Amino acid sequence: MRYQKFDMRKFAFILLFTFTFGQRLDDIDLAMQQLESIVQTASRSSQRVFVEDFTGLQ
């Protein structure tokens, strides 16, 4: 049975690759959250004002 020698360089590359893209996904997620917040705020309804006047004249 042949055993492959553990290749530290491959391991380091995979680790770096995973870490890099993991961070990149985080960036994208963060940007999407900011965009969502901006769109929601921009489209939020504005309050109109309602006055109830309890009145009378005599």
Partner 1 sequence: MLDDYPETLMNIEWHNPSFTPGNSDFDIPEYSSRASMYGVGGIPHTQWNGVQETVGGYANGNWQAFIGTFTSLYNSMVGEETPYEISINGYAGSEVSYDVTISMDADMSNSNQKVDIFVVEDNIWSYWTGASQYHNARNVARDWLTTQDLTISTAGESETFSGTFDMDEDWNADSIKIIAIVQNYVSKQVYQVTAVNINDMNPDIDDDGILNGEDNCIDIFNPGQEDYDNDLIGDACDPCDNLVYILGNLNGDTDENGIPVIDIMDVLSLVDFLIFDDSYECQDPILNINGDEFVNVVDVIALVQSILNGDN
Rounded CA separation 8/51 (Å):
74
Q: How far is the CB of 41 from partner 1 (least distance, A)?
A: 8
For position 51 contacting partner 1 by CB under 8 A, the verdict is yes
C-alpha 7/C-alpha 5 separation (Å) is 6
Q: If you write DSSP's letter for every residue of 3-26 in order, what string do you get?
A: -PPP-HHHHHHHHHHHHHHHHHHH
User: Looking only at residues 26 through 45 of this chain, which bind partner 1 when binding is defined by CB under 8 A?
Assistant: 40-41, 43-45
From 1, 6, 22, 47, residue interacting with partner 1 (rule: CB under 8 A): 47
Q: What is the binding site for partner 1 (CB under 8 A)?
A: 40-41, 43-58
